[in-house]
Structure 1
Amino acid sequence: MAAESSPSSSPSVASAIDFLSLCHRLKTTKREGWVRRQVENPESIADHMYRMGLMALISADIPDINRDKCVKMAIVHDIAEAIVGDITPSDGIPKHEKNRREREALEHMCKLLGGGPRAKEIADLWMEYEENSTPEAKIVKDFDKVEMILQALEYENEQGKDLEEFFQSTAGKFQTELGKAWASEIASRRRK
């Protein structure tokens, strides 16, 4: 059993609750792509991150991949959206501006958390994901796309919508064998 964190390495109770209260927005902010396509009861940002975390958790062991790190990365990769919202390509905001806004939001959230090792871990995981700089980041980037097309398939089946654009936006963009395999399985189920 792991030892409980010492007070000096943990955020204060107040800063932890402040941070978690801000993260509540992730549970209530709907994913913008689904809203724009008039999907009924669209998933929230937190819904999306949660299933990505499950993807990392259930994925088979892959040599040289830290699965626990992937789970953590999946649950923080969109955390800045608690402040900036779900910015999509159709918003017309240049990528560098989106990155600037998200980085600023992340810095604010880490300060709210009181800095320290937990805030640094969140910031480091987020940056690693954004920079696509490690094998873990690459697989989590693939989980991001896989989760979106799986959700699109579910909305097509449940609501009779044509969400082809979501599948097209990911075509040829998977970086890992696992991502490619899962995307292929989703595509085959869509053709049935």
Structure 2
Amino acid sequence: MVAAMVAALAASFVTTPLGADVSDAWAAKSGLPSKKADVAAVDAPLLSTLVQTHTDERVPLDDHSPTADRFSSLLADRVTGERIAFDPRLLELLRALARKHPGARFELVSGFRSPKLNEMMRKKGRHVASHSQHSLGHAVDFRIVPFDAERGVHPRVLEKEIRDLGWGGGVGTYLLPSDWFVHADVGRKRRWGG
């Protein structure tokens, strides 16, 4: 009797090639795509992983993911929860860098800053601009940690890589152990160290 149950269970796990037609119910239950258009999305190579450092939320980064809306959500203000649409050039910059650092973890340090968070940071003595590009959805602070390293890529190396990609906006490097990241924004071309 047990052998018959095991055989029936094994028969229910029929392997089907990823591109083959399967029923929507079985596809939904198995987690496999049910349409050929979905198969193409599954085949997009994973470039890296975006990690929101304040929540530890992780999102795959490839040629199609995340969407612009999901990216903006990931970079929402960490105090108020407010969000703003981010300039799409920032996500494309991260994708271009991910192609140079396949499999790396992109740690997102700062995204949107509401006026409340921006002012709170200024009062704590943080060096933030009163009219920050972060408050416009025009800036992201991040570091890249290769999958086989404990420490991230040096911010000055990232600055050079960003400029080599033709980036025409602002790039700031932060080198303190507590602030080890690079800032990129879509404002005018400028550079600084923090």
Same fold (TM over 0.5): no
More helix by share: 1
Calculate the TM-score normalised by the size of structure 1: 0.28
Say which one has the larger Rg: 2
State the structure with bigger RCO (CA 8 A, min sep 6), 1 or 2: 1
Calculate the TM-score normalised by the size of structure 2: 0.27
